[in-house]
Amino acid sequence: MKNKLQNLKNILYEVDDLQKAAAVLYWDQSTYMPAGGAVGRGNQLSTLSKVAHEKFVDTAVGKLLDDLQPYADSLPDDDDDARLINVVRRDYDKATKVPSTLLAELYGHVAASYQAWTKARPSNDFEMVRPYLEKTLDLSRQIANCFPDYDHIADPLIDRSDEGMKTAVIRQIFSDLRTELVPLVQAITDLPEPDNSFLFKHYPEQKQLDFGMKAAIQYGFDTHRGRQDKTHHPFMTSFGHGDIRITTRVNEHRFDDALFSTLHEAGHAMYEMGIRPELDRTPLANGTSSGVHESQSRLWENIVGRSYEFWQHYYPQLQTVFPENLNDVSLDAFYRAINKVSKSLIRTDADEVTYNLHVMIRFDLSIQLLEGTLEVKDLPEAWNSRYQSDLGLQAPNDVDGVLQDVHWYSGVIGGSFQGYTLGNIMSSLFYEQALKAHPSIPAEIAQGEFGTLHGWLRENLYQHGRKYTANELIKRTTGGDLTITPYLNYLHGKFRKLYNIS
């Protein structure tokens, strides 16, 4: 059995090497590659991912998994090898149950769909992408139907990024959250808006980058195993245990873009940096789900990075870096500005409170499309009516409406949005547990010290990688199931105080 396990691991190591090599190429494409490299890079990425996929779905892997299953079942439940075999079994089934012809059709189609979207969006032409979206919906249903045991057709699609999460559970949780958020947003936005004009003064690029990196390093981002570069759409990528990259973008006339993007991506990176090195080069050496990954980026970006305590420590330093912009601005005024809540049409510009409403609209519409209770041709109208009911806003055009996000035009419909809000919910859930264990954390943050919080997260979440699912991590840390109570307590506590709402 030890030999067979080693054989399996050797294949997994090679698959991982190929995937990490592709990640390096993708990172280069998104940071430094000249435009002329696009065609060649596309070929290289597609070849590498094809070779990695073929290596993984090889019948030899299936045979090894079959042979190793009794061994995995004989080991203690939380043994690394048992967990590895079971995770690989699930990945293998997911990768092999979808016929390669269907996958090829999907990849070809979404590439064309994305191209169409890049033209349709600037010309505000939903009709141009409608036929693509209809086919995407059809292909998404076909992929879901490769896993016919589902309770809901969206379950297999959600399972691709948030393993074990079910549509029915998420729907209930989101509906409960929406019931609380809509009136909270209304109560806040009925009040006068705090002034945030000083965030839009001139903030030189290098000073912004230096300040963000300094905070990320104090958080615990390890520059011996990572670096930051510039890109258009910030992301984090891992090349393995020793090299985890983050990216950011800088707007010299908007202070809150680069810094919070850096803190966000640093949160993703610290999660990956904290995975036990013994798991490296295996499928366990990843974040366990998009929701848990997002919980860590949001925890470090929002719960810590937008907290009063954080700025008690950092604001005097920030004033020293940008005296001409901030010397006349008090800490309280700055804190209110970076936490300003406003109704807007654009998800990526949204604040902590309204952000989830944007996500839930997209999640619900995806589900309705998959169920067949909503047709693609009626999507713009459905989009607009939800913005009206949830945010009291009407998009002037589809560019700021249904054509806004790339997700539906570059991948399957279903499974791509829930992770953002699950992440917010889980960020508070985990933070609450860290506070229970270490009530001194807020006082430490006010001193610019993050080691206790980082240590708790490493111990309870990061080190495990994919060894435990999101639901298992929640059970292990809280003893219960996913609940929105800590998140609601956080939002109500922070924003009712900030806006003086009883």
How many Å apart are CA 448 and CA 434, to the nearest integer?
A: 17
Catalytically active residues, by annotation = 265
CB of 230: closest distance to Zn ion in angstroms? 17
How many Å apart are CA 336 and CA 349, to the nearest integer?
A: 16
CB of 431: closest distance to Zn ion in angstroms? 16
Site map 109..138 versus Zn ion, x via CB under 5 A: ------------------------------
Cβ atoms within 10 A of the Cβ of 248, count?
25
Q: Which of 473, 447, 173, 148 is closest to 296 using CA atoms? A: 473
For the residues of 143-209, what is the DSSP string, one character each?
Answer: HHTTSTT-SSTTHHHHHTTSTT--HHHHHHHHHHHHHHHHHHHHHHHTSPPPP-GGGGS---HHHHH
Nearer to Zn ion by Cβ, of 143 and 461: the residue is 461
Contact window for Zn ion (CB under 5 A) among 112-120, 183-191, 293-301, 487-495:
293-301
Nearer to Zn ion by Cβ, of 281 and 293: the residue is 293
Nearer to Zn ion by Cβ, of 255 and 420: the residue is 420
How many Å apart are CA 121 and CA 99, to the nearest integer?
A: 32
Nearer to Zn ion by Cβ, of 156 and 411: the residue is 411
Is 297 an interacting residue with respect to Zn ion (CB under 5 A)?
Answer: yes
- Sequence-ordered list of residues with C-beta below 8 angstroms from that of 136, at least 6 positions apart, any chain: 109, 110, 113, 408, 409, 412, 413
Asked if residue 227 lies in contact with residue 245, where contact means CB atoms within 8 angstroms, the answer is: yes
Angle between the N-to-C axes of helices 355-371 and 126-144, in degrees from 0 to 180, rounded to the nearest 10: 70
Is 208 an interacting residue with respect to Zn ion (CB under 5 A)?
Answer: no
Contact window for Zn ion (CB under 5 A) among 272-280, 289-297, 356-364, 475-483:
289-297
CB of 62: closest distance to Zn ion in angstroms? 33
Asked if residue 209 lies in contact with residue 250, where contact means CB atoms within 8 angstroms, the answer is: yes
CB of 267: closest distance to Zn ion in angstroms? 8
Contact window for Zn ion (CB under 5 A) among 37-45, 295-303, 330-338, 350-358:
295-303
Contact window for Zn ion (CB under 5 A) among 5-13, 155-163, 297-305, 435-443:
297-305
SS (H, E, C) 56-72: HHCHHHHHHHHHHHHHH
Is 302 an interacting residue with respect to Zn ion (CB under 5 A)?
Answer: no
Asked if residue 431 lies in contact with residue 178, where contact means CB atoms within 8 angstroms, the answer is: no
Nearer to Zn ion by Cβ, of 116 and 470: the residue is 470
CB of 57: closest distance to Zn ion in angstroms? 29
Asked if residue 355 lies in contact with residue 424, where contact means CB atoms within 8 angstroms, the answer is: yes
Q: Which residue is nearest to Zn ion (CB)?
A: 297
Contact window for Zn ion (CB under 5 A) among 294-302, 320-328, 387-395, 478-486:
294-302
Nearer to Zn ion by Cβ, of 136 and 262: the residue is 262
Beta bridge mates, 226: 244
Is 404 an interacting residue with respect to Zn ion (CB under 5 A)?
Answer: no
CB of 287: closest distance to Zn ion in angstroms? 10
Q: Which residues bind Zn ion (CB under 5 A)?
A: 297
